[in-house]
Structure 1
Amino acid sequence: MCGRYHSATPPELIRGWFRVLGPLPNWRPTWNAAPTQSLPVVRFNPEAGARSLDLLRWGLVPSWAKDPKIGAKMINARAETVATLPAFRKAFARRRCIVPADGFYEWAKTDAGKVPYAVGPAEAGTIWGFAGLWEGWKNEAGEWLRSFTIVTTAANEALRHIHERMPVILPPEAYGRWLGEEPAEPKELQDLLKPCPADAVRAWTVSPRVNSVRNDDATLLDPG
């Protein structure tokens, strides 16, 4: 799964990397993004013909949900079932998004307990785009909640010793297809949901301070 990630790249750099137009939302950099937080997500508006960067809550709430608390259980969508599960299939067909990230955290199970790892791009200056889905949910007062989930796949060879799953990291040339700017058949989209190459990532152990969402600063990435 992917339960924490970091996204501290300045908004203007995210705008350029993902070719986003329009105003940028206000948010502070985070080195410990956690479920239920409002975080930047790239979406494509077919009416405007442009990408936008918006703040959505992490943890997808299906439109049919009776209670938005269900989103806390839907922070990830498995690539193998994303097109068929009722919670995700409509979003997979119509509401795909990209989640900008500098990297993510994962915990390895050892005899001594869980050990946290940071995972980031092997190439400096790279911003990752996780494959995501988004959804809109309206409460009884008519207020909208827009939320997202991160699609995960089997871990690649470099990360399998840490955990069996990892986020789907889209190559930049696939952004248009995933967002719906370019036509793509369901199978083409499904084919994008695979592990990135092992040599595109690097992983290192970090301090257990990352375990608490109250800790959110750049030192979380220090080797530990």
Structure 2
Amino acid sequence: MCGRFALTAGPDQTAAFLGLDEVEEFPARYNIAPTQPVLMAIAAPPRAPGSNLPERRTLLVRWGLIPGWAKNPGDLPLLFNARSETAAEKASFKAAMRHRRALIPASGFYEWKRIGNKQSQPYWVRPKAGGIVAFAALMETWSEPGGSEIDTGAILTTNANPEFSAIHDRMPIVIQQQDFARWLDCRFQEPRDVADLLRPAEPGFFEAIPVSDKVNKPANTGPEIQERAEPVATAPVERPKKAAVDPDPGQLTLF
């Protein structure tokens, strides 16, 4: 899954990565959590022949998709992730998967490895080569009963690659730059046409750095939460004690 991520690159770097002339100014964000606004790229409206308008545009959306048919979002779980294997069939995601595929730029994400029954070790997971990645995402606009609209989104996940599965069994899907146009093209590319992009990152693409539990609190938003920390010690596993064996099963006992 992907429950926290960061975007610390500047607007110019982010715009160049997404193939845009510019994006609006925004501060570095080190601990982005569900329900917060996130930057998203979607396909722009169809262009006239010879037009110089960009092929895509950016907008801010609430991280946590609300299906268009929802009457009361409070009755639904917080849909900040969508399983790519079933998104095209699930009622909550199938319309967005067909009509509103998107990209979320990120500098990396955080994941927690379970240690024993009560502890977990957070990791800052970033591209080993540096730079920005684009998570496969879905966008949906929800209309409130009063008439106002909220743009919302979710990150698509898949089974973790063998390397990352030591930390968690799911990971966000990364769309490579050469595939941006195909992924975002919802006019001519149906979900089945882009299914080959819904795969885990290649082993070695990411590196995972153990960090402190400061990242657990969304209120901690500084760069110090990405500093390397000593991993949580693995708790010894208590094994059940073997029952004592009577050396002579036929021997009588007073107890």
TM-score by length of 2: 0.82
Tell me how far apart the structure 2 counterparts of residues 43 and 4 of structure 1 sit (CA, whole Å): 21
- Distance (Å, rounded) in 2 between the aligned partners of 1:27 and 1:218: 16
- Structure with more strand by fraction: 1
Post-superposition CA distance 1:127-161 (Å, at most 9, x none): 10000000001112211100000000011122100
- The within-5 A match list for 1:63-78 is 63-69=68-74, 73-78=78-83
The residue that corresponds to 2:246 in the other structure is: none
Query: Residue type matched to 2:159 in 1?
Result: A
Matched residues, number: 222
* C-alpha distance in structure 1 between counterparts of 2:112 and 2:153, whole Å: 22
Task: Kindly indicate whether the alpha-carbon contact (under 8 Å) linking 2:10 and 2:27 is maintained by their aligned counterparts in 1.
Answer: no
Instruction: State the alpha-carbon separation in 1 of the partners of residues 20 and 70 from structure 2.
Output: 31
> 1:39 offset after TM fit, Å?
1.1
Deviation at 1:183, TM superposition (A): 3.5
Larger radius of gyration: 2
Change (3 A) 1:80 1:150: same
Match of residue 203 from structure 1: 208
2:33 equivalent to 1:31: no
CA apart distance, 1:68: 3.3
Equivalent positions of 1:71-220 (< 5 A) are 73-111=78-116, 113-124=119-130, 126-180=131-185, 183-220=188-225
Q: Gaps spanning 5+ residues in structure 2: where?
A: 48-53, 230-255
Q: Gapped runs of 5+ residues in structure 1?
A: none
Amino acid at match of 1:29: A
Write the letter of the residue equivalent to 1:120.
Answer: R
Question: Are 1:19 and 2:19 an aligned pair?
Answer: yes
Mark the CA change 1:206 to 1:193 in structure 2 (over 3 Å): closer, same or farther.
same
SS at match of 2:165: coil
**AA at the equivalent of 2:15:** R
1:198 counterpart SS class = coil
Matched position secondary structure for 2:161: coil
TM-score, normalised relative to structure 1:
0.93
Q: Percent identity?
A: 34
Report if aligned partners of 2:30, 2:223 keep a CA contact under 8 Å in 1. Answer: yes
Give the CA deviation at 1:181.
7.1
